[in-house]
A = this chain, B = another copy of it.
Amino acid sequence: MQSVRNAFMNYEELLQQYNIRPTAVRLLILKGIADFAAPFSLEDLYIFLDTIDRSTVFRTLVVFEEQHLLHSFEDGSGKKKYCFHHSASAVSTGTAHDACRHVHATCRVCGRTMCVTTQEIPIVPLPEGFEVENVNYVVTGVCASCKQR
């Protein structure tokens, strides 16, 4: 699979790869998402896109997540955050393997969340018989640039 952040990628094909009908609005929303370097909230995206209705943005995010183009998680900010999958397995496997496998670091001061992709989330032993579907590991604190000030 091509990288979702490749500057030369074809957004239309990308949506089709994920079995999402590439409507005009969805392409606009996808382009908007690609402009975010870090996880974003519904609000972030809605403000950025400006002309598209909030409920449309919301329902589009639901579709994108259902089709595993995005994943969502909570970082403690009170707003659900979304981001692209960083692995390339989503389309090929279509299974639970497309769950998020990286750590998120949220700065309490500036509110930004970063993806920590240098290492996968370490697995811990769980209660007997618990079937894992998703793992969410969020570190909260103060980022380097906020600490200087």
Contact = CB atoms under 8 A, between A and B. Distances in A.
B136 A130 contact: no
A121 interface: yes
A6 interface: no
Contact of A119 (B125, B129, B140, B143): B125
Chain A at the B interface: mostly helix, strand, loop or mixed? strand
Nearest to A134: B140
A134 to B, nearest CB: 4
A55 interface: no
A131 B122 contact: no
A132 B67 CA distance: 33
A149 interface: no
Interface in A85-129: 103, 105, 107-108, 114, 116, 118-119, 121-122, 124-129
Contacts of A74: 74, 76
Nearest to A120: B124
